[in-house]
Amino acid sequence: MFSKNAKIFVAGHKGLVGSSIVKKLISLGYKKILKIDKKKLDLRDQNKVLNFFKKQNIDAVINAAGTVGGIAANNKYRAEFIYDNLTIQNNIINACYKNKVKSLIFLGSSSIYPKNTKIPIKEEYLLSGYLEKTNEPYAVAKIAGIKLCESYNYQYGTNYKCLIPCNVYGQNDNYDKQKSHFFPALILKSITAKKKNKKFITLWGSGRARREILHSDDLADACIYFLKKRTKEKIINIGSNFDMTILNYAKLILKEIDYDCEIILDKRKPNGTFRKLLDSSKAKKYGWEPKISLKDGLKSIIKKYS
């Protein structure tokens, strides 16, 4: 569908997913990858975004931009999580339509699905129940982005696809203690404990909440795959088809770094949604599956940050 000379704009190119997308595009031989630093273009500024798109002859957009984080950040910065994400995605999606961009990949999140829903989670379960309170603002913003794409597709015949990934981890993750997702937080805690010879690490909640994780390079692969793929469905789950408890992830990381210490569970802290395993059968039906095992993905990250 796209030649290697197609101009593809990657919004959020310095982030975990965006940087993996750029790396993948380069490896595939795409020659016109459009990137811009947020200091030069504030994606929350509608006029600047529209002017940027008008000056460029963009063929496709992958939107990996946004404000993201774990439970602590979602709870503390609720206003920023809903405002920033709503504004950024609205500006990008609308600018795509106004400037006749052929294709768009919008990245959602598994947090869009109801807190208490059937497992594995199918795409059609969207808006079938109440959201998890700890990340509700972020989830509402992402749902709005999905519905905006859906509305443009319905009214104007655009080709805007929404990929819904599970928790994503990778080489360029956010390891900030206050803002990171659970998996990089576990890696940071474990490596820090080993370096400082601590006798224990502390996990939020009961440790029994289950999470599905996917390497950012696999998500990048999915973004490019579905950018080029013709699909009937416009909302597609992207997962690893495997989950386990947060406590077991912590044990796995400690084993991988060869460190033995106690794991303390702070049950006063929230668990978040108990389980969010996605049904990724639609992605598989179209010929896409993840390639990076948890063991290999974890080893590469520990090697970098140890």
Give catalytic status of residue 138 as yes or no. yes
Question: In this structure, are strands 7-11 and 103-107 parallel, antiparallel, or unpaired?
Answer: unpaired
d(CA 110, CA 45): 27
Residue count (the chain):
306
Q: Looking up tokens 């273009």, which residue turns up?
A: 41
Is the peptide bond prior to 120 cis by the omega test (within 30 degrees of 0)? yes
Quick one: which H or E segment has residue 81? helix 78-98
The string of DSSP codes covering 190-250 is: HHHHHHTT-SEEEEES-S--EEEEEEHHHHHHHHHHHHHS--S-SEEEE--S-EEEHHHHH
Over its C-alpha atoms, the chain yields an Rg (Å, rounded) of: 19
CA distance 299 to 249: 13
Q: How far apart are CA 243 and CA 214, in angstroms?
A: 10
Do β-strands 200-204 and 60-63 pair in parallel, antiparallel, or remain unpaired? unpaired
The catalytic position among 77, 138, 160, 169 is 138
**Distance of alpha carbon 50 from alpha carbon 99, whole angstroms:** 8
CB 172 within 8 A of CB 219: no
What does the DSSP 8-state code read for residue 280?
A: -
So which residues are the catalytic ones?
138
